[in-house]
Structure formats: C-alpha cells, structure tokens
Amino acid sequence: MTVGNVFDPVFETVRSGEPILKVRGLGVDFSVDGSWVMASEDVEFDINPGEVLAVVGESGSGKSVSAMSILGLLPQNARVSGSATLLGRELIGVREPMLRAVRGKEIGLIFQEPMTALNPVLTVGFQINEMLLSHFDMTPDESRRRVIELMKLVDLPDPEKRFDLYPHQLSGGQRQRVMIAMALACDPVLLIADEPTTALDVTVQAEILDLLRDLHHRLDSAILLITHDMGVVADLADRVVVMQNGHIVETGPAQELFTYPQNAYTQDLLAAVPHLGSEIADAATPDGRDDRPTDWALEVVDLVLEYPGRGRVPPFRAVDGVSFKVPQGEILGLVGESGSGKSTIGRAVASLLPITDGSIKIAGRDIKGLSQRDLMPMRRKVAIVFQDPASSLNPRMTIGESIGEPLFLHEKLRKGALAGRVEKLLDSVRLRRDYRYRYPHELSGGQRQRVGIARALSLGPDLLVADEPTSALDVSVQAHVLELFKDLQEQYVFACLFISHDLAVVEILAKQIAVLHRGQLAEIGSRERILRDPQDPYTRRLLAAAPVPDPAEQAIRREGRRALLAAGADPDDDVATA
Amino acid sequence: MMAQDIENEPERIPPDNVPSTELEMATFVGIDNELAETGMGPPVGSAPMAAKTEFRIVAKRFFRHKAARAGLIVLALIILLAFSSIGFGPIPGWWKYDYTEFEPTLTDGGAPTLSIFPPAWGDHPFGQSNEGRDYFALTMRGLQQSLIIAFIVGIVSTIVGTVIGAVSGYFRGRIESVLMRFTDVMITIPLLAIAAVIAGQIGGSGIVGLGVLLGLVTWTSLARIVRGEFLSLREKEFVDAARSVGASSRRIIFRHILPNTVGVITVSATLAISGAILLETALSFLNFGVKSPDISLGLLLQQYRQAMDVRPYLFWWPGVFIVLISLSVNFIGDGLRDAFDPRQTRAKA
C-alpha cells in the first residue's frame, strides 16, 4: 500500500465489516410538465468493503439516476425519497455543505466521457490538485507530490511531464486514467464508476478495467459500477444488481447470476448480448480458399481518402491503400476502433466523400470523379444506414416523408402510389403503418433505426452500407434490429458493407471480416479464420480485449490477453491524439 | 461538388396543408411540398395517431409564457385600433375625423378630452394639434405607417438574412468567404448614416420604399445566426442521408435544413420588427424618414417636440405607442425564444 492512509480518517470503520453503503427504499421522481414521473423506486442494495457491485440495466432503467441521487447530484426538478447511509451517516435529504464534504472525499466519482468531464482550459495536474486542496489543508509542494504519486498509481507514463498537459493533449485512455486519479485523490471509501469504459475502444477498455481491478485489490476500496455492458460486468463485478424500468429485478453474486439467471428479464438480457465466438463454435473451419464467381457488388482498390487541410494544416489521411471486395448478396464486416477509418470508407462508398486516390467500383462501375448528375443512377444502387438514429432522421419530417424521399426523388412517385410503397416498407421492417404520420421524436431508438433501414431499402439497393447501425441501441433492441437485418438481407439479397467496432456483432452477420487499423487493412478473411486463427498482432489484441458475458470464461480470456501482451504484441494504442 | 446542382426542379406553390410551423416561412420554403402533402394528407384506412406536431408543442409553450401572451394581446389590440379607427385605404373607419381635416377653432385650447373616470372619449380624446387637426386620427395614421414600415423591414431583412446565411453556411468555401466579408462590410457602415443618405434620395417612393430600404441594411445579424445554424446542421446525419439519395442542394437547404432553423429565424424576425420601429422613429425624428404631409410616430415626435413644455400630450401619445409596440414585440420574441428552446422540453421545476 503506497498511498498513505494518513488521508483516511475513516479507515478503521471500513475494516469493521459493516457495509460501506446501505441503500434502502431509494426512489427518484422527476417533475415533468407539472406531474411527477417515476425514474426509480424501491432500490435497495449494500456494498461491503472491498466489493465491486455492478448495477446493470438498459437506458431508462434508472441505474445512473439512483447512483447520482446518493451524492445529491440530480437536477433541480428531482425528488428523492428513501435512505442511503454511508458508514452509518444518512446522505439523503441532508444539506448541501454536508454533501460537499462527502463528494470526492469519501465517495469518488468516475464519469463516462472523460473529454467532457475534464475542463479543457485547465491542466490535468491542476484538476487533480483541486480535489486535494478542496478537502485538505496542504502546501502546494505537498499536494503536487501527492498528485504525481496518484498519477503513478494509475499508470500514467511520465507523470511529471503529464502534470502540465491539457486534457486534449492526452489520449482517451489517459484521460480516463486522470479521471480515476481524481476520484482516488482523497482515498475514498467508495468509488462510483458511471459507465467508465463506454466511450473507449475495446483495447483501451480492457486496460482501464485491468487498472480498476488492480487498484481495487491494492487499495481495498469498494466500487459501485454502473454499466449496460454485460462483458464489463463479467470482467469486474463480484455482485450484480439488475434494474429494469426503475425497479430492481434481480440481485446476486456475479457467477451465479450469469450461470443461472432467475428473472425472465435477466435471462432475455443475457441472451441478447452477442457472445463472441458463439456463432462459429459449431461451424466447421472452411477448407482454405473458396473459389467464388467474380460477380462483385463492391470493389475497393488501393483506396486513399484524405480530409483536406486548411491553410498550413496538412491534409489528414484517414484511409491509406485499402483494398477489398464484396460479392453480390454477401455481407462483409468492416471492423476497427475509433479513428481506424472504417466510417470514412463507408461514406466514400455512399459517394458522400470525394476519393483522393484509388478506386471504388460499384457493380463494376467506378464512381471516382463522377458528377452529381452521373452519380444519380449509382445512388439507386447504394444505400446507407447511419449510426445514430436520433440524428439521421430529419426531426421536422414525418416518418412517411423520410422513408418516401428516395422514392419521391428517383421514381417520381407522388401521393397514393408513394403512400402505398411507404406502407409496404413499414410492413417489411415490422412497424405499424400509421407510424408514417408520426415524427421521429415520438419513436424509440430501435423504431427509429428501423425507419432508417426502411429508407435505405426503399429503392431496392444492390449494396447497403451499414455504419454501426446498432451501436447507439440497447442490447435487447440491438438483438431485434440485428435479427431484422438478417431476415431482410435474406429476403432482398443485397450485398452489405457492415461497419462496426464490435466483433461479436459482426460475427453474427458477416461471412467475411476485414480488420482496419489506423487507416490500413490489418487483415481480411473469412469469419472463421479471422476469429479462430488471427494472423495480424492487432487482430489478436482486438480479439483478446473484447469482453464476453461470462465471468469464468472472461477470467480465462484475461489471462490469455496478459500472456499475449507479455509475449510482446506491443500495446501501442495509448498514444496522444494531439 | 455541391454548387452546380441547383437545377431545373419545377417551382411549386405551397399547398394549403403544409405544416403550420412552416406556413409563415412559406414564402421561401414553398418548394417540394408535394411530399409534405402526401405525409399530411387525409388518412387512408387506419386512423392516424394524434401526432403532436412541433408547432403545437411550441404554441403550447408560448402561451404558458405570461409576458409573451400579454405582448401578443397588446400588439393585436394596437393593430386593430390603428387600422379600424380611421380606416385604411378605401375602407372607412369608425372614427369621425380624418387626419387631414383641419378645424379652424381649437376646442378647449386643444386639450385631450379622454377621461378615465367617468370613462368617455369626448370630442378629441387625444386633443388637437397646433393646426387644429384631431390628434387621435393623426396618431392612428402615424401608428399605421410605423407598423407597415416595421413589418416590411421585418420581412425583407428576414428573407435577405436567411438566404445569405443559408447559402454561405451550406456551401462553405469561397461562396461563404465572399458573402460573409460582404456582411462584415455592411456591419461596419453606420446604419443611420447610410439610411439617412439613401432615404433622402428615394424619399418620394413613400413608406414601402423606406421599409424595403431599411430591410436591405438590417439583415446582417440574422445572416450570421442562420449561417451558424447551418454550419452545425449540415453536419447532421439526416443531411448526409438526403445527400446519399441524391437530393439537390436546393432541396436540402429548403426542405431539410431550413425548417430546423425556424425557431431562430422567427425569434430574430420578431426582434427585427421592434428594432425597425425604433429605427424608423429615429430616422423620421431626424427628418430623413417619412416626410410631411404623410405622418409617422417619429415624425409626430419631431414636429411637436417643442410642445413638450406647454402641451406635453402632443409628445406623449406617439411616445406611449412606440414604447408599447416595441415592448410587446420584444416580449413576444422572448416567449418565442423560450418556446423554441429544446432544453425546455426536458422539465420545468
């Protein structure tokens, strides 16, 4: 134990074996337009010293709201009832100064998005320092020493130099480490981590989870982990609380809950999580190279894509020399982490970005340098489904108008004929016909994404570009959308470029997988070969980092990953993006 | 890449059943509305779910704003009073005097006959001018002219500002540089000076000409706001979605992006109207705006400013109406701004 317990006046209490945090009958309501709306109700759990408790649920389940209510960090229009006691002291309904003394000092908080949770105009050292100075009487020298000690604790390389850097000069993983250092600054007895890895890439996520596990063992602090990701839960949690619609539906030790889920909702939730390796488990390894007909829906040859520079800023090369082919009626999964250029390729294929060099051929025709007029017939053949269903539909247009727009522009359909086609499309994505009179904000995320798919299919495209169509959705919704997608693909037989950061999702759909790494193709091959026998070191790291929703298997995978890293597959990803 | 495809799509006249949010913008949104027609048309078969349109949500929030509600009522009453009392054009009003009529003798020295208790209009409620004209009729005439100028300025500056802002925000690049530098130049020219010089030359064309002229020099702030909105909206995925199916730039600007900026445009237009009232008053006061024998509120102030000591009511009546109009228009603008603000949808404590 390197971090001094001198800062820890409650250290003895922690040792006594009483629960650190006792939550009883906690309820949160929000006042919306004059009436109270329940966000969570009857939430009860204990956190024991040295325990990791995960609160799991989908969006709207009340998991974050419950945790924030403990710290009194809810908006003005919230009403909290029930009780939460930290080491015997009540936290609900007490006055602000008392809560301020608890925040940061006894309960540390790690937020989801380190870029927005850190102040961009202050150095990271200053921000960690602020935590110390607001709770302890320290000289500047003392506190600086302590900050550097903390930065060492969270494995930030070169802490003296990092002290004076600004958040944008650090990589995403390093920023999250700074957040963790801030949360740990006052040796809290409890750490609340609200979706600590959701904004991070899988390889970075694995490193942050390792750090949290390591710190948890070394400092013996309790962690309240709030997440929607079953893989993260399996990796870290001792006990799990499952929430749905503001209520706790099941509580239990992690291993037990994953193996024998009792509640129907928990069972559904676990079944909905894509499990890496499950699709190919019983499929035979294909024998070598398969000889296909040369009927390609999409051919990409030596593609180079650049974002133009401005003034003295040189152009940014997002994609560099990528080649792959998609046969007619087949799905190719394009996998990569953020910044790998996967979405850029998708947009170039949909003719939304100019091609710098190389070529993109759709059904044999090169789209490079075509004018808008010449592109029109090509646009019928290629459609795109976007990542965020909330922003890909025009909020001022009805669903019917959005779906009908391609038909309106290309087939010049009007009125009755258009309405008929729109209703058929709504049928095919299993939405009610009268939804065409609705506006996007009246639909749920999953329904909106179905509308996005219906719009993409309206002209019967030969090639569909799906740019992370499910990454903004909850797992159970994602499962339904993926199933629908699979059915539609079999029904309409279109070729598809399926872009995703999630190998498990790609595994469900794609026959071929291409792995992108920093704008270059790391590896391409059949699904079975990529997942079973990856050749490229980056692919191996990516596979090893993806968590699976099973604690036992995850523990084995963790060891495997450690061995892989130790064997010298360089963990080079945590590089500052500045 | 995007510039060349503003092309031959036939111009369409907006049908009656466009969504009401867009109706007020119909002058420049009236393109490609057949799609809207289909979406909004009478339900076939199953009854449509009662869709809570953006317009209804905004209207509901607007009417919850007390000051805005009061402003709307006051403005409506003032407009009604101004145009019904002395009539407009060939339509006669209910007031017995005309603003051009002279009475050789002043009744009661020209003092106002309006009394609150007991409530009575009297013969000359606002008194009489030095020359014996009925001051109520005179003020109403001035009110009419000032309101007409204000609304013309509001409409002209909104259209010009929106188009310039939209085009430069959407196309970026050289078009944006040229238009925005032009805007900068317009901003640097002192408004009052340019208005004074040009208004002196075109003074003959009356209030419509003056209104258009003022509109042509006051669009700059709206152009900047609209450009900012376009800069952020053009990066949204629904714009990419429209581009990916081959929608023309004109269609994307007018059908996809512009309806999403109705909020800021409406608010700016309202505030432009109240600014125009004040600008017209200032110009007329300096004798550059509306010219005698025609009359406006500013001109009334100018003509009777010496009467401040002896017959202050000649100064106060036009003054009161100027304050009332700009105050109520500002309140309406405030209410609209709050109503369109998306953060309001979340919750109200």
Instruction: List per-block mean pLDDT (blocks of 10 residues) for chain B, which spans 349 residues.
Output: 40 39 36 35 39 71 88 93 83 78 71 71 76 83 89 93 93 90 89 74 70 87 92 90 89 90 86 86 80 81 79 84 90 84 45
| Count of CB atoms situated within 10 Å of the CB of B316 | 15
Name the residue of chain A whose CA is nearest to B233's CA.
A391
Is A98 part of the contact surface with chain B (CB cutoff 8 Å)? no
Contacts of B45 in chain A (CB under 8 A): 433
Structure confidence at residue B53 (pLDDT) = 62
Contacts of B260 in chain A (CB under 8 A): 394-396
Provide the chain A residues 329-358 that lie in CB contact (below 8 A) with chain B: 347, 350-352, 354
Please, are residues A289 and A532 in contact by the beta-carbon 8 Å criterion? no
- Beta strands (DSSP E) in chain B are none
Is B39 part of the contact surface with chain A (CB cutoff 8 Å)? yes
State the helix-helix crossing angle for B66-85 and B313-340, rounded to 10 degrees. Answer: 130
Structure confidence at residue A285 (pLDDT) = 52
In sequence order, what DSSP letters do the residues of A77-110 get, joined into one string? TEEEEEEEEETTEE-TT--HHHHHHHBTTTEEEE
CA of B185 to nearest chain A CA: how many angstroms apart?
A: 24
Structure confidence at residue B8 (pLDDT) = 41
Is A410 part of the contact surface with chain B (CB cutoff 8 Å)? yes
Structure confidence at residue A215 (pLDDT) = 87
What is the overall mean pLDDT for chain A?
85
Name the residue of chain A whose CA is nearest to B20's CA.
A396
CA of B245 to nearest chain A CA: how many angstroms apart?
A: 6
Side-chain-side CA neighbours of A344 within 13 Å: the count stands at: 25
Task: Tell me which H or E stretch contains B118.
Answer: none
Distance CA B293, CA B303 (A): 11
Is B50 part of the contact surface with chain A (CB cutoff 8 Å)? no
Provide the chain B residues 239-258 that lie in CB contact (below 8 A) with chain A: 240-247, 251, 256
Contacts of B240 in chain A (CB under 8 A): 347, 350, 352, 384, 386, 392
Distance CA A195, CA A198 (A): 6
Please, are residues B222 and B161 in contact by the beta-carbon 8 Å criterion? yes
Distance CA B33, CA A423 (A): 20
Distance CA A534, CA B78 (A): 78
Contacts across the A-B interface (CB distance below 8 Å): 138
Which long-range CB contacts under 8 A does A353-357 form with residues at least 24 apart?
A: A353/A305, A354/B1, A355/A303, A355/A304, A355/A305, A356/A304, A356/A305, A356/A306, A356/A317, A357/A302, A357/A303, A357/A304
| Count of CB atoms situated within 10 Å of the CB of A145 | 12
Structure confidence at residue B27 (pLDDT) = 33
Name the residue of chain A whose CA is nearest to B55's CA.
A396
Name the residue of chain A whose CA is nearest to B9's CA.
A409
- Mutation to test the B interface, candidates A409, A436, A465, most B Cβ within 10 Å: A409
Distance CA A107, CA A91 (A): 11
pLDDT of A316-373, one tens digit each? Answer: 888 998 999 998 888 999 998 888 888 899 999 998 888 999 999 988 888 888 888 8
Q: What is the mean pLDDT of each run of 10 residues along chain A (578 residues)?
A: 43 61 90 83 90 89 88 86 89 87 87 84 91 87 90 88 88 88 88 86 87 85 89 90 91 90 90 80 53 76 86 84 90 89 90 90 85 86 88 87 91 86 91 87 87 92 91 87 91 92 88 90 89 88 86 86 73 44
Provide the chain A residues 14-33 that lie in CB contact (below 8 A) with chain B: 30-33
Distance CA A403, CA A425 (A): 8
Structure confidence at residue A557 (pLDDT) = 86
Contacts of A346 in chain B (CB under 8 A): none
Q: What is the dihedral of CA B30, B32, B33, B34, to 10 degrees?
A: 150
- CB pair distance less than 8 Å for B39 and A77: no
Helix and strand numbers, DSSP H then E, in chain A:
22, 20
- Mutation to test the A interface, candidates B33, B244, B251, B252, most A Cβ within 10 Å: B244
Contacts of B256 in chain A (CB under 8 A): 394, 397
Distance CA B334, CA B270 (A): 9
Please, are residues A349 and A362 in contact by the beta-carbon 8 Å criterion? yes
- CB pair distance less than 8 Å for A383 and B348: no
Is A77 part of the contact surface with chain B (CB cutoff 8 Å)? yes
- Beta strands (DSSP E) in A103-260 are 107-110, 190-194, 222-227, 239-244, 247-253
Task: Among B21, B35, B237, select the one facing A391 at the smallest CB separation.
Answer: B237
Task: Tell me which H or E stretch contains B39.
Answer: helix B34-40
Contacts of A408 in chain B (CB under 8 A): 34-35
- Mutation to test the A interface, candidates B21, B35, B54, most A Cβ within 10 Å: B35
Note the pTM of the prediction, 2 decimals.
0.78
Task: Among A354, A395, A405, select the one facing B260 at the smallest CB separation.
Answer: A395
Name the residue of chain B whose CA is nearest to A394's CA.
B238
Side-chain-side CA neighbours of A295 within 13 Å: the count stands at: 8
Structure confidence at residue A291 (pLDDT) = 54
Which long-range CB contacts under 8 A does A251-258 form with residues at least 24 apart?
A: A251/A45, A254/A54, A254/A551, A255/A551, A255/A552, A258/A230, A258/A234, A258/A549, A258/A550, A258/A551
Pairing of strands A107-110, A190-194: parallel
Name the amino acid, one letter, at B227. Answer: R
**Backbone torsions φ then ψ of B248, nearest 5 degrees:** -75, 160
Is A370 part of the contact surface with chain B (CB cutoff 8 Å)? no
